[in-house]
Structure 1
Amino acid sequence: MTEKLLQYLWNFKIFNNLNFKDTEGNPIEILDFGRWNKDSGPDFLMAKIKIGNLIHAGNIELHIRSSDWIFHQHSLDSAFDNIILHVVFQDDAEIPGFKEKQIPTLELRHHIDENLLRKYDQLIHDNSFIACENLFEPSKIPFQFHEENILKKLYEKSVSIEEDLEKSKNNFEAILFHQIAYAFGLKVNAHIFKQIAESIDFTTFNKIRQNKTQLEALFFGISDWLENPSDKQTKIWKREFDFLQSKFNLANIKIQPKFLRLRPPNFPTLRLSQLADLYSKHQNIFSKVISAKNSEEIITLFKDITASEYWDEHFNFGKISKVKQEKILSKDFIELITLNAILPVKFTYHKYHHEEISEEMICFYQSLSPEKNTITEGWKKLKVKIENALESQSLIYHFKHFCETKNCLNCGIGFKILKER
């Protein structure tokens, strides 16, 4: 038993029966269990209880043991002056002053199902993919939280985007560029690519964005890959970067991406070249993204994006590959960019301009394919159906916010499992 679990049971009234009596044997009727207080002070506020013919209104404090009241020194804290009931799992001590103030103590030990305590202990100490894995039955779990999870995820992401907006003087085009760069970097280089994008003054970026070679030169130069050009093309990029540095008085910033643990198609050399191609081909990408009414309109923007011809037979500078192949964006990668960059910025823009877009966002997610990663595979092994990105993104969010942190008491699935006898 934990105090958090006891509060949870009290809040949701999960007891064998409500025929409560205080430790003196007097019947107690709980008219209002109170409002759960997650801040400092008594655990439940504005409660009402009836003892005999008298109704008492005030606050309720919960503890594992009665003696915790003494240990926590609540008698010295004026915030606890209006206590009308002390609820404990086990009554192990008489509290000085309670009789004089007529504050009853309610012991809950015999009102709580032992099977529930066993389940909770199993959840907390289980090291499986999710804590409730051995108790989990998909057919009995109502997965009705997907839309709510997606909107929570978007709101949380929009807060971060709005913080970036303040730094960029509300330049949504610049923010979209930073977010797309972040997504192009994938897990290994996401923050590094965003740093590279943010290190470039967006006004300068706009002046050269029609020139793919210059965009590549800018990305590669900032990545510190052009100091020792090894072939004709790298010498061209080096020359262009030196020209841009001189013309725009660029700061000598070096931010080197990583290659470690990446498959060759995801090498930062290719991804930065593809990013340059995207922005050289679409001068008004922001307006297209904001006005898009369905996912296909967004995906179309990325369908013809490819790394420059040099990368057809290279993965890194100066090293010719055995296989010559055009480095285009895969469907999975395009949808990943849409999920991780495009939709959060689109949502933030409409939210920022006081436009309702929640329903439209849900439709976007429903029309995209589900991600494939260790978290979604874990859910699939539990026989959970994942048919689109709405469901996969929701389950990833749920895993990170509830399962990974073992926040079972605030989880809809955990609530369902604990409540079942």
Structure 2
Amino acid sequence: MTEKLLQYLWNYKVFKHFDFKDLEGNAIEILDFGKWNTDSGPDFLTAKIKINNIIFIGNIELHIKTSDWIFHNHSQDPNYQNIILHVVYQNDCEIDELKNKNIPTLELRNYIDENIFWKYEKLVSGNQFIPCENIFNPNKIPINFHEENVLKKLEEKSLEFEKNLEQFKNNFEAVLFHSLAYSFGLKVNAFMFRQIAESIDFNIINKIRQNETQLEALLFGISGWLENPEDEQMQIWKREFDFLKAKFNIPDLIIRPKFLRLRPPNFPTIRLSQLANLYHQHQSLFSKIIHAKNPEELFTILKNVKASGYWDNRFNFGKISKVDQPKILSKDFIELIILNTILPLKYTYHKYHNEEIADEILNFYKNLSAEKNSVIEDWKKLGLKFKTALESQSFIYHFKNSCEEKNCLNCSIGFKILKEK
């Protein structure tokens, strides 16, 4: 037993029965279990109990043992002067202070099913994929589980966007560019791609976006790849980059993306060229994205994006490849961009003046395919099936925020596992 588990059981009322009696044998009726307080002070606030036909309103403190009241120095703390009930798992001594103030003590040991301890140990111990792997039941997923998880993720991402908007003077187009760069960089280069994007005043991108060669030159130059041109096209990019540096007073800055452990289609050369092509093709990209009504409209925007012709038979500078074909965005990559950048930004843009935006965004997730990655594959081994991005995004979020952290007491699945007989 831990104090956190005891608080959890009290908050969710997970007891064999509710015929509570204090140490003196007086019946205690809990009219209101109180509000769980996760800050300093008593564990449950503004509770309401009834003893001997008298109703008391105040706070409740929980401990593993009665003596913890002394060890935690509550006697001298003014925050604990309005205690109406002391709840303990095991009574190991008498507290004169509480007895003199007629504050009852409730011992919970006989009200808790011992199977809960076994289940809890199963939840928080072991090194398996998820803590409850051995007792996980795919049929115990709560109602609205996916919607709640995805909305939590959207809200967290929205808060990040709002900080970025504050930094970049509420320029949604600039923040979109930075976030798209992050997505195009994937895990290996996400941070560096964002740095490259943020190092360029977005007004410059707007001024040169009609010239795809200049856009590529700017991104390649900041990446440090044009210092020693190996062929004619690289020389053209270098001349354009030198011209742009002088024209827009761009400071000397080199941010070198990584190639290590990347498949050639994901090389930073290809992804930066595709990013340049996206902004070259769509002069009003932000407006098109924000007003898209369904995934098909978003796919229409992204499906024709490809690296420039130089990269048809190359993955890196100066090296001819046996593969000779346009480097377009794959369906999986497009969906990744939609899920990680476009939908969270649409939610952020609309949430303060469109009451129905949450439902609209959730419909986008329901109409996109489930992702394919190692986390989803591990969930599948536990019997789960994924049809839509709503389901896959939900379980990816849940894994990162509950399972990896072993935050089982704040997990709706964990709650059902603990509570069921």
**TM-score of the superposition, structure 1-length normalised?**
0.97
Separation in 1 of the partners of 2:201 and 2:353? 25
Q: Would you identify which runs of 4 or more consecutive aligned residues in structure 1 move more than 4 Å?
A: 352-355
Q: What 5-or-longer segments of structure 2 have no aligned partner?
A: none
User: What is aligned with 1:172?
Assistant: 172
Q: How does 1:44-123 map to 2 (within 5 A)?
A: 44-123=44-123
SS of 1:126's equivalent in the other structure is coil
Residue 314 in structure 1 maps to residue 314 in structure 2: yes
Separation in 2 of the partners of 1:291 and 1:88? 56
Cα offset, 1:355, TM superposition: 5.3
Cα offset, 1:174, TM superposition: 1.1
Cα offset, 1:166, TM superposition: 1.3
Checking the alignment, whether the CA contact within 8 Å between 1:46 and 1:57 is kept in structure 2 is yes
Q: What 5-or-longer segments of structure 1 have no aligned partner?
A: none
User: What is aligned with 1:298?
Assistant: 298
* Matched letter for residue 204 of structure 1: I
Q: How does 1:268-279 map to 2 (within 5 A)?
A: 268-279=268-279
Separation in 1 of the partners of 2:142 and 2:32? 28
SS of 1:134's equivalent in the other structure is coil
Separation in 2 of the partners of 1:46 and 1:350? 37
Separation in 2 of the partners of 1:282 and 1:205? 12
* Matched letter for residue 296 of structure 1: E
Cα offset, 1:52, TM superposition: 2.4
SS of 1:76's equivalent in the other structure is coil
Aligned residues: 421
Percent of aligned pairs sharing the same letter:
69
Q: Structure 1's 353 and 175: CA in aligned 2 closer, same or farther, altered over 3 A?
A: farther
Cα offset, 1:330, TM superposition: 0.4
Q: More displaced, 355-364 or 306-315?
A: 355-364
Separation in 1 of the partners of 2:177 and 2:250? 19
Cα offset, 1:136, TM superposition: 1.1
SS of 1:225's equivalent in the other structure is coil
Separation in 2 of the partners of 1:167 and 1:113? 53
Separation in 1 of the partners of 2:279 and 2:397? 30
Checking the alignment, whether the CA contact within 8 Å between 2:140 and 2:413 is kept in structure 1 is no
User: What is aligned with 2:18?
Assistant: 18
Checking the alignment, whether the CA contact within 8 Å between 2:209 and 2:283 is kept in structure 1 is yes
Cα offset, 1:142, TM superposition: 3.1
Deviations 1:210-255 (A, max 9, x none): 1111111100000011111111111111111111111111111111
SS of 2:351's equivalent in the other structure is helix
Residue 381 in structure 1 maps to residue 402 in structure 2: no
Cα offset, 1:53, TM superposition: 3.2
Q: CA RMSD, aligned part only?
A: 1.3
* Matched letter for residue 272 of structure 2: L
Deviations 1:42-70 (A, max 9, x none): 11112222222333222110001111111
User: What is aligned with 1:219?
Assistant: 219
SS of 1:97's equivalent in the other structure is helix
Cα offset, 1:354, TM superposition: 4.8
User: What is aligned with 1:36?
Assistant: 36
User: What is aligned with 1:260?
Assistant: 260
User: What is aligned with 1:202?
Assistant: 202
Q: How does 1:233-244 map to 2 (within 5 A)?
A: 233-244=233-244
* Matched letter for residue 57 of structure 1: I
* Matched letter for residue 114 of structure 1: E
User: What is aligned with 1:191?
Assistant: 191
Q: Structure 1's 6 and 371: CA in aligned 2 closer, same or farther, altered over 3 A?
A: same
Cα offset, 1:26, TM superposition: 2.8
Q: How does 1:275-354 map to 2 (within 5 A)?
A: 275-354=275-354
Checking the alignment, whether the CA contact within 8 Å between 2:36 and 2:43 is kept in structure 1 is yes
Deviations 1:337-367 (A, max 9, x none): 1111111111111124455311110111111
Checking the alignment, whether the CA contact within 8 Å between 2:122 and 2:134 is kept in structure 1 is no
Separation in 1 of the partners of 2:162 and 2:33? 39
Cα offset, 1:322, TM superposition: 2.3
Checking the alignment, whether the CA contact within 8 Å between 1:350 and 1:356 is kept in structure 2 is no
Separation in 1 of the partners of 2:360 and 2:416? 30
User: What is aligned with 1:152?
Assistant: 152
Deviations 1:293-339 (A, max 9, x none): 11110111111111111111111111221222221110000111111
Cα offset, 1:129, TM superposition: 1.1
Cα offset, 1:282, TM superposition: 0.8
* Matched letter for residue 82 of structure 2: N
Deviations 1:57-88 (A, max 9, x none): 22110001111111110000011011111111
Separation in 2 of the partners of 1:80 and 1:120? 30
Deviations 1:161-184 (A, max 9, x none): 111111211111111111111111
User: What is aligned with 2:357?
Assistant: 357
Checking the alignment, whether the CA contact within 8 Å between 2:85 and 2:106 is kept in structure 1 is yes
Deviations 1:15-38 (A, max 9, x none): 112222222333322222222122
Q: Structure 1's 253 and 355: CA in aligned 2 closer, same or farther, altered over 3 A?
A: farther
Deviations 1:116-148 (A, max 9, x none): 111001111132111111111112333521112
SS of 2:87's equivalent in the other structure is strand
SS of 1:136's equivalent in the other structure is coil
Checking the alignment, whether the CA contact within 8 Å between 2:351 and 2:358 is kept in structure 1 is no
Separation in 1 of the partners of 2:176 and 2:106? 57
Checking the alignment, whether the CA contact within 8 Å between 2:124 and 2:406 is kept in structure 1 is yes
